[in-house]
Structure 1
Amino acid sequence: MPVTIALAGNPNSGKTTMFNALTGSSQRVGNWPGVTVDKKEGRLKKYKDVTIIDLPGIYSLSPYTLEEVISRDYLVNEKPDVIINIVDGSNIERNLYLTTQILDVGIPVVIALNMIDIVNKSGDIIDIKKLSETLGCPVIETSAQKGTGLEVLTKKAIELAKAGKKGTFKRQFSKPVELALSNIAELIKNNVPDENLRWYSIKFFERDEKVLERITLSDVIKGKIEQIILACEEELDDNSASIIASESYEYISDVVRSYVKKSHSGTTLSDKIDSVVTSRWLGLPIFAAIMFLVYYVSVSTVGSYVTDFTNDMFVGEWIQAPLANWLTSIGTAEWMIGLIVDGIVGGLGAIIGFLPQMLILFFFLAILEDSGYMARIAFLMDRIFRKIGLSGKSFIPLLIGTGCGVPGIMATRTIEQQNDRRMTIMTTTFMPCGAKLPLIALISSAVFGGTWWVAPSAYFLGIGAVVISGIILKKTKLFMGESSPFVIELPAYHIPMAGNVIRSMFERGSSFVKKAFTVYTLASILVWFGASFGFVNGTFGLVDNLNNSVLHNIGNSLALIFAPLGFGRWETTVASIMGLAAKEQVVGVFGVLTSIGNEDLTLEMVDSANVGGLSPIAALFSSEIAAYSFLIFNLLCAPCFAAMNTIRTEMNNWKWTVFAIGYECIFAYVIALIFYQLGTFFSGGSFTAGTAVAFILLAVLLFMLFRPAPKQHDIEKSDSNLSATAGVSE
């Protein structure tokens, strides 16, 4: 008999670690029906007929965030055979709120009392037997990180699923509430499933909008239900939702006092560490130092050595040269050799060569995430973000965006306030994702000789762009309003699990490799074709001079746009434009052009590279200031096509999408222009028209940053204006 097990729990309760431990490599990642939030599904090890569904991490089954709606709809409508509710034993009181809601649904439940190793180490004692009797379901001690209790847990879950044995849990509310629930149940019993009657009664009492929309009742019954609720609210002098929440927490507090014995009330090791790393004065410097070290090691030192070997020896000496010789020996046409060696291998090799640096970066980020430190950073950044009009919830998408902008944009769905969510979508791709790392590494090594500050500065450039944009946008009528409240669990610090770290590192790396052999291959072929073919004397064909190529003509016609930024050459123009398809392709363009140039096709940048010992890439820029301006623009401008499409999906309105992408491009252009023009002027350059424009733009930027925010009463007026001008669909 096939069995479906749903995993449900709070964020940072160890749910993902447990899902990985239970399913191993037999996982599939898709989307929930109708939405783009990740749906993880896997087969239980040693059980071909047992499917495990990993629900989004949530704090409750209330319909406030998309994750909560998804989890609740799945449990109520899809009805899995059994639910494994992961409860963080070291933070049991907070976690049991979700547990009580899950038990109300009426599906068999097994509680995985997770992180039991931490509980035991702290000396706390939890009476498992009495807790199980009170909650009316099995409670199994587990440690997902160490694999403790997982076999017992899954056997119990399968046993309950096959027996169809529901729990006996029924928390008792106060008499007025119980009377109200009983009366509501009597009115709706013919309209809802029997097994969910208690849950629906509570949701009707809370005036849950999603439930009210789904269940069809006559106006007479709706009126009677409202009278029942109003009478209870009047008697208890509170609104119905608050009554349920407060009485639920009272019940949970009684349970914890009865069955959980704390060994001491003093501070734990995690508390002591947090007193330093989340302190008002030391928190941010420590975070900056850690991220500086991560990028320094990943890009400038260890990663640089490995990448240099990969690019120079593995790709150049071991693949390109032998492949070119072999193709020549078998009589392959010259254009085919160029396509394979220069176009495909040269383009892909330039990108894949940076994979070692990416893996090292992903390795460090996975350690920080699995240890519990990144949760503290979200808490820490809430202080800063709240001052600029955002909340700590906005940092979660930014954090995810350091791996890939697409899931980072999708993660904004946890933000309730529509204005905050839109602003976060617009700024998430400012963060240097994995796709931008090859570009950072290329400029750092080829132009700056691996200078220590270049790679880390790219990370903080992204954060700075988010902060500046947040301040500016929040002061506009389009984005005014109160920020979303921010709640996050701070799990106890623990040593990262090797399996989780390696899995996270290779999951991120594998998506990069898959794109390399699809999107990047096609893009590299197009670049090679454009660089190798052109019109000479009215005839189209292979050219022996890049100045006659199609690519040169296209780039040259657009190069004037980027001249004020310091990189108005056709090569850098083409690279920037191709970067809109995929940011890694900026490196791919240089890889193809360099490969062709090495065959003496009179590539100007290679010829000029012989002067002063410059690398071919460095020769494209008039100065290091121009090179860093190029880096600024390509890091901050519109993201890749995949991320743009995700912005369109999440905005759900093409005008908002155009506005978001347009803002990113304009912001990137302005910042790069200010940096190049003023940097050149203050380093000894002459005062030009570009310098004057840069000073004006800087003044406007400073005015936007420090001007007072519009008065709050203008918000309503702005909402109507926005709807009229942008056609916003909520």
Structure 2
Amino acid sequence: MSIKIALAGNPNCGKTTLFNALTGSNQFVGNWPGVTVEKKEGKLKGHKDVIIMDLPGIYSLSPYTLEEVVARNYLIGERPDAILNIVDGTNIERNLYLSTQLMELGIPVIMAVNMMDIVEKSGDKIHINKLSEKLGCEVVEISALKGTGIQKAAEKAVALASQKNSKPPVHKFAVEVESVLDSIEEKLGSDIPEEQKRFFAIKLLEKDEKIQTQMKRVPDVTEEITRIERELDDDTESIITNERYVYISSIIDQCFTRNKKNGLTVSDKIDRIVTNRFLALPIFAAVMFLVYYVSVTTVGTWATDWANDGLFGEGFSFFGIDVPGVPAVVGGILTAVGCADWLQGLILDGIVAGVGAVLGFVPQMLVLFIFLAFLESCGYMARVAFIMDRIFRKFGLSGKSFIPMLIGTGCGVPGVMASRTIENDRDRKMTIMTTTFIPCGAKLPIIALIAGALFGGASWVAPSAYFVGIAAIICSGIILKKTKMFAGDPAPFVMELPAYHMPTAGNVLRSMWERGWSFIKKAGTIILLSTIVVWFTSYFGWVDGQFRMLEAMELDHSILAKMGSAISWLFIPLGWGDWKSAVAAITGLVAKENVVGTFGILYGFAEVAEDGSEIWGTLAGSMTAVAAYSFLVFNLLCAPCFAAMGAIKREMNNARWFWFAVGYQTLLAYVVALCVYQVGTLITTGSFGFFTVVAFALIAGFIYLLVRPLKEKSGSKVKLTSVAGAK
């Protein structure tokens, strides 16, 4: 029988770093049953029968956020054999609040005080033995980042979990609350295990609605709670919270000695600059410019050129040995086995061309993911959320909305799912609608293709795409907050700012690979199926009343050409009304990477990409630079891929809200792309026409929606007056 050990702790306490170090590659990622908060579990290295569960980072077990509900339900319902409580040693007093709750569960607890290397460096001292004595549980020192002490902590947790008959210590509060706790414990009945009664009693006092609903059968509980509230002249929830902090304060002075000589830490000094009111945004812009410049324009481009021109092109040289590319190898095998022409066309022109065109951008994406992983691990991205909260709050959003958008830079699906952490329903819905405006990893190939084909690989294209997404989010926040559906103050935002530290190479590479592997798996499933469909509809059609496979010069007669021609007129005002571009944009709804894969098939990418310039020339010949940027903007802002749309539907949990979200995204994308093309064409060529007038009218309407006053203020006054009059 396997042993289950749960990792629990505050956000940014190093819990995930510890989990990665303990489990290595033996990890399984999924969703908690019934919800979309990600869970991770893995097997402890060297122990096939020990499962480590990484719970969401939480501040308490009170059910205020989805993560807290998930963690609390897992601990109560699943009852792991032991809890490894990770505590940030640099903020130990605040972290102990959750620890007091965990010890009430009746589950064996091992406390691991993390970041001890930073504590020692600062000159502070944590008296581990004294802390263990006061808490009544074993306490160990660790540094998850450096790997010191982590195996010892895991082994102690396994040993404690193996002692089935051991009774873990139960935290006791001060005498003022003790009597009512004892009274409620007695009345909970024999159907609740003895070790859980204290937790249930405290949760009843904290007015936990779920526990109260379950405990309605317990007699006289309401009277007991009313009695203590009357005696102490306060509500029991506040009393319990106060007692926790009184208890923590009573032990912290004996267990923790602060270095009085400590001045500003290195993190504080850095934050004075990077979170400065005036410097924060320019620094953030410069950082993102550098990230995308290196990822898309320099190192990333060199790696992608090698993949496209060598691996999926003519071939490459390896230590003086000429190695043929994938098309040549696959083509040789198919010819050798006498493969039929249509099947050879499917494999070479469909699968290899389409999937290869997408996979060719994997090196570029991996470079980007390395940078993002480094920024997240070192602590800078937490500061960005803090910086953006000041910005977002002015436009009706909370800084919490930035977290899903940050996650969405990798993939829109987990980005949308992360919106579940936002308590305010209006803010959550708005975040869901706007998260996918941020360019995800799947949109990077589109950005790179347009930048290379029409702008000579200009370094400004990729960062501009990122800031177009941010502008769309900010403008959407302003406009939507002025509607009745989304009116109201944004939710408060509290976030831990971890100390800056140098991430380990293992953690950065693991994060990079997880994101990259997710992209590669999608290329092997959804994109593979899509390219087969695109190939079939591209190379089959009716010629002279006969349905047959088409030659390369007959693609205008294909099924796909007919379908594309039927809708291409919609995109004429946007500057790219040819059927190939229209089809590429539509197939992007299946998966954004399909845009490049579709162009690869329609332009014969596998055959002409010997030096990587042919597809760029063909694409550049089909649209102007302004039209290409319009095409890029439309694909960045319009409805996301089917997978992300599915996530939006699940999170909205309402068909009308789902269609409103998708409709808003697509309409905004169309309007912005139209304005970009029409105004851009007017500036570059002086061309003026009917749709130029439409564009200026749309811009005027857009500005009005941004600056119009809130009507809810006057409306609320009328409401209050009518209520007062009714009284």
Fold shared by both chains (TM-score > 0.5): yes
Equivalent in 295, 302, 306 of residue 303 of structure 2: 306
Q: Residue 252 of structure 2 aligns with which residue?
A: 256
Residues 452, 616 of structure 2: 8 Å contact kept:
no
Which amino acid in structure 2 is aligned with residue 448 of structure 1?
F
Q: Residue 383 of structure 2 aligns with which residue?
A: 376
Structure 1 residue 487, shift from structure 2 partner: 1.1
Mapped partners of 2:555, 2:669: distance in 1: 29
Structure 1 residue 322, shift from structure 2 partner: 4.5
Instruction: Say if 2:557 is the partner of 1:548.
Output: yes
- The Cα offsets for residues 420-476 of structure 1, whole Å up to 9 and x where unpaired, read as 001101111111111111111111111111101001111111111111111111111
Please say which of residues 226-235 and 497-506 is displaced more in the overlay: 226-235
Mapped partners of 1:79, 1:3: distance in 2: 11
Structure 1 residue 77, shift from structure 2 partner: 1.5
Which amino acid in structure 2 is aligned with residue 155 of structure 1?
E
Structure 1 residue 245, shift from structure 2 partner: 1.7
Mapped partners of 1:566, 1:192: distance in 2: 69
Mapped partners of 1:158, 1:69: distance in 2: 26
Residues 8, 84 of structure 1: 8 Å contact kept:
yes
Instruction: Say if 2:486 is the partner of 1:485.
Output: no
Mapped partners of 2:303, 2:178: distance in 1: 67
Mapped partners of 1:298, 1:230: distance in 2: 62
Mapping for residues 245-644 of structure 1, pairs under 5 Å:
245-264=241-260, 265-317=262-314, 318-328=325-335, 330-544=337-551, 545-595=554-604, 598=607, 615-621=617-623, 623-644=624-645
Mapped partners of 1:614, 1:114: distance in 2: 52
- The Cα offsets for residues 352-376 of structure 1, whole Å up to 9 and x where unpaired, read as 0000000000000000011111111
Q: Residue 65 of structure 1 aligns with which residue?
A: 65
Structure 1 residue 231, shift from structure 2 partner: 3.3
Structure 1 residue 714, shift from structure 2 partner: 4.8
Residues 136, 169 of structure 2: 8 Å contact kept:
yes
Give secondary structure in 2 for the equivalent of 1:171. Answer: coil
Which amino acid in structure 2 is aligned with residue 273 of structure 1?
I
Mapped partners of 2:716, 2:479: distance in 1: 16
Residues 86, 111 of structure 1: 8 Å contact kept:
yes
Please say which of residues 487-496 and 31-40 is displaced more in the overlay: 31-40
Q: Residue 686 of structure 2 aligns with which residue?
A: 685
- The Cα offsets for residues 366-390 of structure 1, whole Å up to 9 and x where unpaired, read as 0001111111111111111111111
Structure 1 residue 191, shift from structure 2 partner: 5.0
Mapped partners of 1:418, 1:714: distance in 2: 21
Residues 477, 715 of structure 1: 8 Å contact kept:
no
Structure 1 residue 617, shift from structure 2 partner: 1.5
- The Cα offsets for residues 523-567 of structure 1, whole Å up to 9 and x where unpaired, read as 111111111111011000012211111111111111011111111
Which amino acid in structure 1 is aligned with residue 415 of structure 2?
G
Q: Residue 659 of structure 2 aligns with which residue?
A: 658
Residues 422, 651 of structure 1: 8 Å contact kept:
yes
Which amino acid in structure 2 is aligned with residue 694 of structure 1?
A
- The Cα offsets for residues 196-220 of structure 1, whole Å up to 9 and x where unpaired, read as 11111111111110111233416xx
Length-normalised TM-score, structure 1 = 0.93
Residues 137, 169 of structure 1: 8 Å contact kept:
no
Structure 1 residue 710, shift from structure 2 partner: 2.5
Mapped partners of 2:214, 2:257: distance in 1: 43
Q: Residue 696 of structure 2 aligns with which residue?
A: 695
Residues 449, 616 of structure 2: 8 Å contact kept:
no
Q: Residue 727 of structure 1 aligns with which residue?
A: none
Mapped partners of 1:552, 1:707: distance in 2: 44
Please say which of residues 462-471 and 30-39 is displaced more in the overlay: 30-39
Which amino acid in structure 2 is aligned with residue 424 of structure 1?
T
Residues 109, 166 of structure 1: 8 Å contact kept:
no
Mapped partners of 1:124, 1:581: distance in 2: 55
Structure 1 residue 247, shift from structure 2 partner: 2.6
Please say which of residues 361-370 and 385-394 is displaced more in the overlay: 385-394
Give secondary structure in 2 for the equivalent of 1:316. Answer: coil
Q: 1:169–1:123: structure 2 CA closer, same or farther, 3 Å change rule?
A: farther
Give secondary structure in 1 for the equivalent of 2:617. Answer: coil
Q: 1:169–1:127: structure 2 CA closer, same or farther, 3 Å change rule?
A: farther
Q: 1:463–1:614: structure 2 CA closer, same or farther, 3 Å change rule?
A: closer
Residues 348, 606 of structure 2: 8 Å contact kept:
no
Please provide the CA RMSD for this pair: 2.0
- The Cα offsets for residues 622-660 of structure 1, whole Å up to 9 and x where unpaired, read as x21110000000011001111111111111111111111
Residues 130, 259 of structure 1: 8 Å contact kept:
yes
Please say which of residues 152-161 and 8-17 is displaced more in the overlay: 152-161
Structure 1 residue 570, shift from structure 2 partner: 0.4
Mapped partners of 1:713, 1:151: distance in 2: 62
Mapped partners of 1:2, 1:343: distance in 2: 47
Structure 1 residue 326, shift from structure 2 partner: 4.9
Please say which of residues 146-155 and 354-363 is displaced more in the overlay: 146-155
Q: Residue 723 of structure 1 aligns with which residue?
A: none
Q: 1:205–1:686: structure 2 CA closer, same or farther, 3 Å change rule?
A: same
Instruction: Say if 2:224 is the partner of 1:228.
Output: yes
- The Cα offsets for residues 129-162 of structure 1, whole Å up to 9 and x where unpaired, read as 1100111100000011111111211121112111
Which amino acid in structure 1 is aligned with residue 651 of structure 2?
E
Residues 4, 52 of structure 2: 8 Å contact kept:
yes
Structure 1 residue 614, shift from structure 2 partner: 6.4
Mapped partners of 1:169, 1:326: distance in 2: 69
Residues 312, 606 of structure 2: 8 Å contact kept:
no
Instruction: Say if 2:705 is the partner of 1:704.
Output: yes
Q: Residue 133 of structure 1 aligns with which residue?
A: 133
Residues 327, 606 of structure 2: 8 Å contact kept:
no
Q: Residue 318 of structure 2 aligns with which residue?
A: none
Q: 1:467–1:41: structure 2 CA closer, same or farther, 3 Å change rule?
A: same
Mapping for residues 29-44 of structure 1, pairs under 5 Å:
29-44=29-44
Q: Residue 603 of structure 1 aligns with which residue?
A: none
Percentage of identical aligned residues? 57
Q: 1:699–1:178: structure 2 CA closer, same or farther, 3 Å change rule?
A: same
Mapped partners of 1:438, 1:126: distance in 2: 50
Mapped partners of 2:28, 2:673: distance in 1: 41
Instruction: Say if 2:672 is the partner of 1:668.
Output: no
Instruction: Say if 2:658 is the partner of 1:649.
Output: no
Give secondary structure in 1 for the equivalent of 2:604. Answer: helix
- The Cα offsets for residues 392-441 of structure 1, whole Å up to 9 and x where unpaired, read as 11111000000111111111111000110011011111111111111111
Which amino acid in structure 1 is aligned with residue 520 of structure 2?
V
Q: Residue 244 of structure 1 aligns with which residue?
A: 240
Which amino acid in structure 1 is aligned with residue 619 of structure 2?
I
Once superposed, which parts of structure 1, at least 4 consecutive aligned residues long, lie more than 4 Å away? Answer: 596-600, 712-718
Which amino acid in structure 2 is aligned with residue 310 of structure 1?
A
Q: 1:562–1:488: structure 2 CA closer, same or farther, 3 Å change rule?
A: same
Residues 9, 85 of structure 2: 8 Å contact kept:
yes
Q: 1:704–1:586: structure 2 CA closer, same or farther, 3 Å change rule?
A: same
- The Cα offsets for residues 244-287 of structure 1, whole Å up to 9 and x where unpaired, read as 22332232233222211111342111111111111111111111
Mapped partners of 1:329, 1:49: distance in 2: 49
Q: Would you say how many aligned residue pairs link Structure 1 and Structure 2?
A: 703
Which amino acid in structure 2 is aligned with residue 689 of structure 1?
F
Residues 565, 579 of structure 2: 8 Å contact kept:
yes
Where does the alignment leave 5 or more consecutive residues of structure 1 unmatched?
Answer: 601-605, 719-730
